[in-house]
Amino acid sequence: MGKIMVIGCGGTGNAAIYQCCRHSEFFSEVVIADRDLSRCEALKKKLEGTTDAKIIPVQVDVDDTAVLTELIREEQPEAVLNLTPPCEDLLIMEACLAAGVHYIDTSAYEPEETAVFEYKWQWEYRDRFEKAGLTALLGCGADPGLTEVFCAYALKHYFDEINHIDIFECNTGENRHPFAAGVNPQTGLRRLSLGGAYWKDGSMIETEPLAISQKYRIPEIGERDMYLIRHEEPESLALHVPGIKRIRFFKSFSERDIAYLKCLEELGLTSIEPVRYEDQEIVPLEFLSTFLPDPSSLAAETRGKVSVGCLLEGKKDGKEKKLYLYSICDHEECYNRSGSQAAAYMSGLPAMIGTMLVMNGTWKKAGVFNVEEFDPDPFMELMNKWGLNWKVSENPRL
């Protein structure tokens, strides 16, 4: 029986909090913290009567580290699960260190003033977390998260070395909106504006935004246009996978998505550089985001599937080997089960599992770690047990 604080009550936050409350035999108390207290209270009202967990809604401005630290000390959770935008990661890590609790998140830190996201800033906290005897678990969502666990599992059970990793995120979700993001719109659009990148032979190779694409036949979905984009996984996997030569990340976009993205970019609406408008400064991307729907509001009407998988090539017993390890969810089924769309469900459940493994000691180790640095077996077992099945395809043809 343990107490957790979840900071961030958006789409992934809702999904993770639902999962924590569903497993009240372990999470006996769940603190829901957000800038908007009404969101926390609404979720408490929705979940009460469905769980034995004590739900505690609180308001907090995470930009005020002193106030956040005091809140954590007052509530005394064993761990904080950070599901806020990535620009808040370091502030929350500081508060966890000051309050003496474990830290978990789902994406790499991204400075607010730039669109560069990397783990390097969080890795600089290794000594401080180690000296404090605390665990910081980074990138424990769907991608990053499932993707690195899949790689660690494949390396443990199927390969002696992995030479090539291609990671695929395919979302076929459709709703009434002509253009809508599956995750936080600002985070997604900021990252796409950076251009693509992949890791090869010891260094990152930069590309123009959405310049590299290829058709792949995704299992249980079919043929899709997949675009190479910059993502977190290459930075950490390159350090932890023996024999690795290349790591790439591909995401599906429809022709309509690409047309909208290019138009918005050409108009300058994806820029994070402030501009003057009627004697005030505005950030174009922030302005644009006010017109885009909150992804969590689309759960009831979204239809289609989300698949996250890793295509792995390497060697076993001196012979070439190829494997595809993946998980797939249906938007409508996820909504009926948990009230979340599939993308949020596939991030929220892994975040809950990772937090549980830290709190129960299975993945608890002093320092700052990425998920592939731990034994993947307990995580994979809990995925199957709790509603996020995974599959292995040997000798796949994508």
Q: Which domains does the chain have, with CATH numbers?
A: 2-138 (3.40.50.720), 146-340+390-394 (3.30.360.10)
Beta bridge partners of 203: 200
pLDDT of residue 317: 96
Residues 6+ apart with CB under 8 A from 262: 210
Q: What pLDDT is recorded for position 256? A: 79
Q: Which residues of the chain have pLDDT under 70?
A: 115, 177-188, 190-193, 295-296
Strands 246-252 and 196-200: antiparallel
pLDDT on residue 373? 98
The C-alpha atoms of residue 313 and residue 19 are separated, in whole angstroms, by 34
Residue 371 has what pLDDT? 98
* DSSP assignment of 108-122: ----TTS----SHHH
3-state helix vs strand vs coil in the chain, percent to 5: 35, 30, 35
Cut 0.75: pTM above it: yes
